[in-house]
Structure 1
Amino acid sequence: MTKESKIMNKVKEILPGFIVSLLIALVSMLFSNIIPKIGAATISIFLGIIVGNLFLGQKVFQSGYKFSESNLLSYSIVLLGGTLSVSKLMELGLNGILFVIIQMTITIVGALYIGKKLGFDQNFRFLMASGNAVCGSSAIAATAPVIDADDKDKGISITVVNVTGIFLMFLLPLLSGYLYNHETIQTSAMIGGTLQSVGQVVASGAMVNEGVKDLATIFKIVRVIMLVAVVFIFGHLKNKSDTERVAEEIVDTEKGKIKIPWYVIGFFITCALFSLNIITPEVSAIFKKISHNFEIIALAAIGLKVNIKDLIKQGRAVSLYGLFVGTLQVMSVMILINIFL
């Protein structure tokens, strides 16, 4: 098969799900003009959940949903960097970074302890800890090969982490409104410091307002940067006698590069270019518009991928694990916000 044929097959595979995500995003934008208080982001997610579970949840759409969620959201984050200056990033300050590190540490230690008390094996506990502390499915995928986790543990942990994140995605905007009256830094810290995936952070922040969404994304990016350290620590704990093997899993030895998600690097590059005025305000405005549109399509795909049947059928112990870890995250983030922010 030629390279062109492979590309065409990939496009055909992605197209059905992408078209559905795009149509839902367009409908959501239309409705947001009628009911602006709700916003296109919130409408897009809920409409996606309804359509995906009642009508268009078939396998033929899943590749397109996945592309729309992960790829478009990554592009959106890179473009977002071109709308934020370094001074905006500095709003986190030392307290903000300490807040993130301590929150991640509490999540990791708590997830390992809770999992042990519930009787889960070490590999599953490591996957749950990395997924909840760092960046959901991506962190689990990065951790699994280092600790030799099997596909079953990987699949269940991804499901539970995503389920926990989906519930918190809707809960945190309500909770932050009650506790902080949606004050930008505190609300952003709660959402960006707690939620499991980047998509959930963007979706939850967008339910509040644009400023919270942008700052919550920055909090989340700080957590994503910590992925390499978390994977290395777990790999070392699991394979104490084979440090070289752990390092090989985390570092691409052929290219000599650490496996940091590309969109994080892209975000900082575009942010630097904007801060240096290489990206002009006019171009930045275009970036903002495209980023917003990509984001709405991605949020539609996130909704379309939510499988309510999967949420219901999780076993009692696994469900309790997700519930306890999620509760711990929310409680600790409230305490740390009071201390640091």
Structure 2
Amino acid sequence: MRIEKKHVVGIVLAVVVSLFAQFLSRYLPQLGAESLAMIIGILLGNTIFAGNQYGAGVKWSEKYPIEIGIALLGSTLTFKTLSKLGLNGIAFIIINMILVIGIVFLLGKYLFKVDDHSTMLMGAGNAVCGSSAIAAVAPVIKAKDDNRRTAVATVSLTGMLLLLTLPSLSHFLFGNNDLLRGALVGGTVQSVGQVVGTASLINSNVVTFATLFKLLRVIMLVFVVVLFAYIAKRQNAKEAVEEDEKAKITILPWYIIVFAILLVVNSIMALPAPIHQFSHTVSTFFGVVNLAAIGLNLKWSVIKKSGVKFLSFGFLVGAVQVLLAVILIHLFF
């Protein structure tokens, strides 16, 4: 994680893009800082800032800040979140996540025929919390950087599409029922920032409900990482027995362990409000930095190679995710 001289220029570039995206999001709240950071990053990374001198720092910005952000996110959550949603809310989220992951696997394998790593990344990103979940799963399944970037871009663009459509769709389906509209937004939209952005286009009550549903999905991140690590190890067992043995020792990366510890600590003895605020601010900003860096690193050649297939995959998963959520909301509420 040490910053070397060769990293500085690229890190500064990623941070500047992130700050500009946050500033621009004030005037384009329907897009949000995360989506803007990725879009700006893609445009700049393939034109003005395509030079090799930025590569090392941008890659650093893509990997390490998000790890810190994921770890700190644990201090903003408590198991009390579960009690606020009730048994119906908990069942809705857990069953929805299981179905989404299962459908992503089926679509990835039989319809779009993408590799297993990409399928797992898409499953984690859609079921849990967008780019943060993808960043958490990628190292434990040994996914390639191009697969990770493409998955993040696809999931983020799908989330942006949901952000633009769910406010109207939720009103059409559930009228002015803020709880159900919050369940739809919090149970489907990919990243935490996009959930808040989508809900804020409806009203403040929906923001509260949607955030609660979303935080339960984030709490489930640890279990999803463990599940995909186990699946990846099973798939690789015949090819690399020795590496598989090593993987048993390091099944979880450090930031997932810290995330879980902070979650437990905050549930037992509530951490002070300033710590919550600091962790939330840093985690949110590092999420924006991650997407800015991914955009800067995502070249046209990679987009062209898998763009149509992955966008079709992502948008279909997003549509199925919404359909599943609507059905489950009618069943549980």
TM-score for the superposition, normalised by structure 2: 0.70
- Tell me the alpha carbon deviations over residues 229-286 of structure 1, each in whole angstroms, 9 at most, x when there is no partner: 24424644775x99x989736520xxxxx62343333234334444455632234333
Give the Cα–Cα distance (whole angstroms) in 2 for the partners of residues 30 and 319 of structure 1. 28
Question: How far apart are 1:168 and its partner, in Å?
Answer: 0.7
**Matching residue within 59, 62, 77 for 1:66:** 59
What amino acid does structure 1 have at the position aligned with 2:12?
A: I
Q: 1:128 to 1:94 in 2, by over 3 A?
A: farther
CA distance in 1, matches of 2:327, 2:53: 45
Contact 2:154–2:310 under 8 Å retained in 1: no
Contact 2:96/2:325, CA 8 A, preserved across alignment: yes
- Where does residue 137 of structure 2 map in the other structure? 139
Mapped partners of 2:22, 2:151: distance in 1: 29
In the alignment, what sits opposite 1:148?
A: none
Partner AA of 1:285 in structure 2? Q
C-alpha distance after superposition, 1:279-335 (max 9, x if no partner): 322343333443444344334334434444432333866665555545444433443
Would you say the 8 A contact 1:42–1:207 is kept in 2? no
Check whether the contact 2:140–2:252 (CA below 8 A) recurs between aligned residues: no
Aligned with residue 226 of structure 2, among 225, 228, 235: 228
- Aligned-residue sequence identity (percent) comes to 24
Q: Aligned pair 1:170/2:189, yes or no?
A: no
User: 2:80 is matched with which residue: 81, 87, 111?
Assistant: 87
Instruction: String of CA shifts for 1:2-53, please: whole Å, max 9, x gaps.
Output: xxxx95xx52233222101211233344445667776644544443333223
- Give the aligned partner of residue 310 of structure 1: 302
2:259 to 267, 275, 296: 267
Confirm or deny: 8 A CA contact 2:7 2:57 kept in the other structure: yes
1:324–1:295 CA distance, 2 compared to 1 (3 A): closer
Give me the whole-angstrom Cα distance separating, in 1, the residues matched to 2:304 and 2:92.
Answer: 34
Change (3 A) 1:104 1:214: closer
1:287 aligns with one of 279, 302, 305: 279
Inter-CA distance 276–155: structure 2 relative to 1 (3 Å threshold): closer
- Name the residue aligned to 2:248: 251
Q: Which among 319, 335, 341 is matched to residue 327 of structure 2?
A: 335
Gapped regions of structure 2 (runs ≥ 5): 125-132, 172-177, 201-206
State the TM-score, normalizing by the size of structure 1.
Answer: 0.69
Partner Cα distance (1:176, 1:245) in 2: 47
1:56 to 36, 49, 55: 49
Q: Once the two structures are superposed, what CA deviation does each residue of 1:206-234 show, in whole Å capped at 9, x if it has no partner?
A: 53357556853541341442222244246
CA distance in structure 2 between the partners assigned to 1:269 and 1:306 by the alignment:
33
* Distance of aligned partners of 1:218 and 1:39 in 2 relative to their CA distance in 1, 3 Å threshold: same
Aligned residues: 309
Q: CA deviation at 1:156?
A: 6.6
